Each structure stands twice: as structure tokens, then as C-alpha cells.
Amino acid sequence: MTTADTKQGSKVREQIRQVLSSQRQPTITVLSSLLAVQDSLHYIPDEAIRETATFSGSTINEVWSVASFYTNFRFTPPGEKTLDVCWGPSCHLLGAQEVLNAVHLALEIEEEGESADGKVTLKYNTCLGACAQGPVIAIDHHPIGKQTPESAAQVARELRGLDG
């Protein structure tokens, strides 16, 4: 581990401690603490498990069992941008599967998750609320309709900072 890693680690720990101690709800639990960390950092780093255990007087195993029980917690940092692809019924009928295939190729992944370079997080969505505009994708929750496999792949490449 380098000095930079150590400094980064202590900065993250300090940030987590601040998040944990500034919870305002009347009942503070392991779950509320983990939720507060994820709201702030967008994921649960290893340091958060240790800090939450210390903060709540629980063991690391107890904190980990709560964290691993809930599927909404993520343990790796998300990409800088989120790309949602709708595969709900309306979008499906309008070609969402082909759009999704093209996005997978552009991000160099085969399912939900981070692109090969970690810059983009792909999520599947069951309705982005713009069914008449299908197939729909969304960048950081801003929907864009009338997608083709080519246009969606171009968006995905641009989000990675690659030439369209």
C-alpha cells in the first residue's frame, strides 16, 4: 500500500465517521448507518463496515450480515455516469433487446454493472416513464427516447469518453 492509498483510506474513514455521527433520525441502527453511508458515498467500502461496527457497538460480522442481506447495497464504487436501459413491455416491443445488446457491446460487459473501464454503470429498468418514446434509455436519470442500437451504443461510448 502506498502513502497515497493510506491518505485516501484515512480520508474515506473520516468521511464515513462524519456521515455516521451526523445521522438525524431518532433511531440509529446498523441499517440506518449503512444507508447513510451509501447515500453519501454511493457504495459501502470495507472501511464503512469497520466504522459502522465501532460506531454502533456491533461486531464486524453483525454489520456484514445486515449489509449482505439487503440487495440494494453495493460494495464497489459506481461508475461516474449511470446509463439505464429500459426493457419494460413497451420498450421491449419497440426493440429494447437490440438496444441493450448494442449497449453491452459498447460498454464491454454482458450484464448490469460497470463498464470495463469503470466509467459507466449500466442498469436495467422496467419503465423509465416515457413508454410512447420507446426504446428509452436514461443518462443519470434523464430519459432519452426513440433509441436505435446505433444511437444507444454511441451514447454509451461517449459516456466512456471514447469517440462516438
Give the nearer residue to ligand FES in terms of CB position, either 41 or 139: 139
Cis ω before 135 (30° cut-off from 0): yes
Give the nearer residue to ligand FES in terms of CB position, either 89 or 161: 89
CA–CA distance, 72 with 124 (Å, rounded to integer): 14
CA–CA distance, 33 with 29 (Å, rounded to integer): 6
Q: Taking contact as CB under 6 A, which single stretch among the options 12-20, 46-54, 112-120, 130-138 is the one that binds ligand FES?
A: 130-138
The residue count for binding ligand FES (CB under 6 A) is 12
Residue with smallest beta-carbon separation from ligand FES: 88
CA-nearest of 117, 119, 139 to 128 is 139
CB 112 within 8 A of CB 157: no
Q: How far is the CB of 89 from ligand FES (least distance, A)?
A: 6
Q: How far is the CB of 151 from ligand FES (least distance, A)?
A: 15
Which residue in 127, 139, 151, 158 binds ligand FES (CB under 6 A)? 127
Q: How far is the CB of 141 from ligand FES (least distance, A)?
A: 13
Write the DSSP assignment of 104-154 as a string of letters.
Answer: HHHHT-SSSEE-TTSSEEEEEES--S-GGG-S-EEETTEEE-S--HHHHHH
CA-nearest of 142, 135, 143 to 99 is 135
Q: Does 19 bind ligand FES (CB under 6 A)?
A: no
59-118: which residues touch ligand FES (CB under 6 A)? 86, 88-91
Which residue in 63, 83, 136, 138 binds ligand FES (CB under 6 A)? 136
Give the nearer residue to ligand FES in terms of CB position, either 4 or 132: 132
- The DSSP 8-state label assigned to residue 81 in this structure reads E
Query: Using CB under 6 A as the criterion, which residues of the chain lie in contact with ligand FES when the complex forms?
Result: 86, 88-91, 127-131, 134, 136
